[in-house]
Structure 1
Amino acid sequence: MHDISLLTLALLCLAAAMAGWIDAVVGGGGLLQLPALLVGLPHVPAAHVLGTNKAVAVVGTSAAAITYTRKAPVDVPTAIRIGVAAVAGSFGGAFFAAGINSAVLRPLIMVVLLAVLAFVLLRPTFGASPGTGPVTRNRVLAAILVAGLGIGFYDGLIGPGTGTFLVIAFAAILHMDLVTASATTKVVNTCTNLGALAMFTAQGAVLWSIAAPMALFNLAGGMLGARMALKRGSGFVRVVLVVVVVTLVCKLGYDQWVA
């Protein structure tokens, strides 16, 4: 076990459980789990914190994906194709990340998030039920390009809110209700997390002794979140979506102008 106290480990496990719940419902669990790891492991290299975070997250997203696909009408083959494109996009984003000034990116992302928030609030029926009209091959291709390559690129470049962006993209492009969009997002997230985890593992940048207990709590949170979303429906997911977007805007604003 890495040299941390039992209290610190317990708090990290609690954060992992809460992050798993948030991530399963609408995405954005990393907003809680990654900062918790950074605070709990202040002397650990950033690469090891990121690798440990991925090792924990992949367990929760996989469990949520399995829970969803058993009860929600998820097109798994399409989701996997989007996931593979997202892995490629995230590699590209990570390649360019070193040369990008995050102080420039954050305001742009905040504007996009505020636009998303306004769209969701002004369209109360958005995602309440599946959209009308056929899901054509062109729409599937658009989802692969936008949700896979585009949002995957963003995930590798900066990251926060990726799951939330995926939920909205699937609802808008593929006419999904918010529950099905969340389910599809979990399949895509599983692909991207596995790709990132493979890279971190090859680099020896995963603290498995800390990741293992956290993963169990993340697993429990992810399964509970998926079941609650399935039980309570799109209205519940919509409320959580709004809360997560507002939180993300505040977090980016704090990073930009306060921290």
Structure 2
Amino acid sequence: MSGDILIVDSITTNRIVLKVKLSSAFYSVFQASSAQDALAICATEMPDLVLVTSELTDMGFGAFHDQLHALPGCRKTPIVALTSEDDAQLRMRRFREGAADVITSPISDTVLLARLRTLMRNAHRDTDQWIKPEAAEVFGFADARATFLRPGRIAAMTPRAHPARDSKSAGVSWHRFYKELSSATTHQLERYDMRRGRGLKDLQTHPDAVLLEIGRARDEHGLAPLAELRTAPQTRDAKIIALMDYAKAPLRPLRWIWGHMM
């Protein structure tokens, strides 16, 4: 099996449709009609991913997230919210409540499965990096956690092929966006233009996250820089967020590549 996925939806038809799609991709699928049923299943089955496909009728999304991650073996389980509402405020609310991703339907099966695979792979990788608490005590690493946390490093990048960023108005818009972002966060933000110098070789730091301007890319060449970022030593471990024109990009299902900064 490719992994275990729990579908949470109060509507039976929705669960069946999704189960067929996921089962055809060789996932083992569990179903729950409520948040309480889902928590009971997670306590025994510990799925690799939980897919919430509608508003929970018996519990808020944030409360469900917290209770699920409090279960033994489920601390890193990603929760994906699938919604039919193309609402930016709803997406941001779900992210604030702990969603690993928010997917707006309808969405192609290929893109849906790709995003679920990515989330599950990242969750497994993160889990492997954490040793069990009891092992920490044995090895003498159970001391109190230090309170110091350094600010994250964010690299805002303009790719080499960037036809939508040639106008003066677009440049002003991005400048204002980064200025507002810098004032709203304690993280260190640096802008970097891949069209100048030697490309990524000029990047001296290893950023924790990369903001990649894709803009109104009208074909898949707009995503080409992703491969370069994933292979470069400075950025291959960074989380990548693709900034795409929400209203007009034909690659709209790929507009968000979300990750948690450590």
Report the structure, 1 or 2, having the larger strand content: 2
Q: Is this a same-fold pair by TM over 0.5?
A: no
Q: Which has the greater radius of gyration?
A: 2
TM-score by length of 1: 0.24
TM-score by length of 2: 0.23
Q: Identify which of structures 1 and 2 has the higher relative contact order when contacts are C-alpha pairs closer than 8 Å and 6+ apart.
A: 1
Report the structure, 1 or 2, having the larger helix content: 1
